[in-house]
Amino acid sequence: MCDIERSKEVADIFAQDTDHKAQFEALAQLCNKYLPENAAGSVNAQEIIKIIDTVIALETGSMVVSRQFVSLITERLDNEGLNTDSVKTISEGILSIIKTRTISYEDQVCILRLMLASLYEKEGRIKDAAQALIGINSDTSPKFNGPAAVREGSKAQLFIRITKLLIDCNEIDEAEQYVNRTSLIMVDVSKSEITIEHKALQARVCDARRRFVEAAQRYYELSATDILPQSDRSTALGKAIVCVLLAKPGPQRSRLLTILFKDERAPACPSFELIAKMYLTKVIHKDELAEFEQQLAPHQKVDEHGESILKEVIQEHNITAISQLYININFKTLGSLLGVTPESAETMAGDMISSERLHGYIDQTDGVLHFEDVNSMRMWDSQILSTLEQVNKVSDMIVARHPDFAKFLS
């Protein structure tokens, strides 16, 4: 059937009867020729699209019939027996036709986009699936805004699904926007499963943005969630440990290190030995990092400048650990311990001192780094120890000079 004949057939339907019900029934009969109920296999997708286009173009005013007709087509597309290519072609065609008047077809647009997103996901077209869902107007669609929808968290579930897809296709900026949008509506959501999913996505976004301290905090919260399976809790704990090890030094990171070190579940995690060394301020050697580096995702290996995140963190930790062992150290020795040049060691130490992550000063004339202990309690302990050692030394001298006096005391 040519376009002119099809237009005439549809025009005749509207001309023969002004009753909306009669018009819809006649269009349904026409639809049966190309997309019968419970159709299987392939159908003439282009012919169906042209009929829809003609119906929408010819009907003016209320659009009652065209909405019903598009709904009929949409319902028949939701059929597992239909060829997926036909479903995609028709769905995409309908969306293209009504893109300038979607406000009049909100329910149909919502169903079609949800359908397309599922098909795209099965084909591995993750970004297309995300864009299909983003096109849904969740602020006005009844599917996401009724009292029941709010209680069930329908909009939150939509945002969560979009966020997952955006993370999977590495669109982290957009994913963070949807995580934040979800946070604004979580107060009305009663389902604990949705809350947990949201927290997991918050952790993943923070991780992907290299905000490792925040990610570790959220992963650890998930690891302590009783309703999660034990395997998921263990995975979350392992991710918390990884993120803490990659995080820059600071009070929050130190607090998390303490929590993880003292957690009775932590010793079962592969990276616990590194956590222990970091907590106890012990030097971490390069050969101890090989297994840990294999666990890292690509974004965890290098920063936005292409520099190794782990290398920088471990070197800084090792300088701090060395400061507990030495009063001072020359940069040649420090560079050897860190596996870098003396110049690089001096630069790192200077940066740490200037940002108050390390207390000390640099003697550039002699090429020596001097450490200062600003921990008052540790200084107090050191002074007590020194006094006791002096007392012990005097006692030994008395005993050596006057052995009889020692017998008298015993």
> What's the confidence (pLDDT) of residue 291?
82
> What's the confidence (pLDDT) of residue 10?
79
Task: Report d(CA 384, CA 366) in Å as an integer.
Answer: 32
> Which pTM does this prediction carry?
0.79
Residue 87 makes CB contacts below 8 A (sequence gap 6+) with 77, 79, 115, 119
From the first residue on, what is the mean pLDDT of each consecutive set of 10 residues in the chain (410 residues)? 66 79 87 83 88 83 84 89 91 91 87 95 95 90 70 85 96 95 86 92 96 96 93 95 92 92 92 91 86 89 89 87 85 84 85 81 86 63 73 79 66
Task: Report d(CA 73, CA 56) in Å as an integer.
Answer: 13
- Show the tokens assigned to 389: 């050692």
Task: Report d(CA 392, CA 113) in Å as an integer.
Answer: 83
Task: Report d(CA 90, CA 112) in Å as an integer.
Answer: 10
Task: Report d(CA 227, CA 225) in Å as an integer.
Answer: 6
Coil vs helix vs strand at 210:
coil
Q: What is the torsional sign of CA 225, 227, 231, 235?
A: negative
Single-letter amino acid code for the residue at 33: K
> What's the confidence (pLDDT) of residue 246?
94
Task: Report d(CA 19, CA 84) in Å as an integer.
Answer: 35
> What's the confidence (pLDDT) of residue 378?
57
Are 201 and 223 in contact by the 8 Å Cβ rule? The answer is no
Torsion angles phi and psi, residue 258, rounded to 5: -65, -45
> Which residues, in sequence order, are bridge partners of residue 249?
none
Task: Report d(CA 253, CA 257) in Å as an integer.
Answer: 6
3-state SS record for 309-375:
HHHHHHHHHHHHHHHHHCCEEEHHHHHHHHCCCHHHHHHHHHHHHHCCCCCEEEECCCCEEEECCCC
Are 371 and 327 in contact by the 8 Å Cβ rule? The answer is yes
Are 30 and 51 in contact by the 8 Å Cβ rule? The answer is yes
Are 71 and 50 in contact by the 8 Å Cβ rule? The answer is no
Are 117 and 168 in contact by the 8 Å Cβ rule? The answer is no
If phi > 0 it is left, if psi is from -120 to 50 it is alpha, else beta; for residue 137 that is beta
Buried b (16+ CB within 10 A) or exposed e, 160-198: bbbbbbbbbbebbebbbbbbeebeebeeebeeeebbbbb
> Which among 202, 135, 136 has a CA at the least distance from the CA of 175?
202
Task: Report d(CA 260, CA 237) in Å as an integer.
Answer: 9
H/E run at residue 329: strand 328-330
- Supply the Cα-derived Rg of the chain in whole angstroms: 34
H/E run at residue 91: helix 84-97
Task: Report d(CA 113, CA 133) in Å as an integer.
Answer: 6
> Which among 114, 110, 141, 143 has a CA at the least distance from the CA of 129?
114
Q: CA-based angle 126:128:134, to the nearest 5?
A: 105
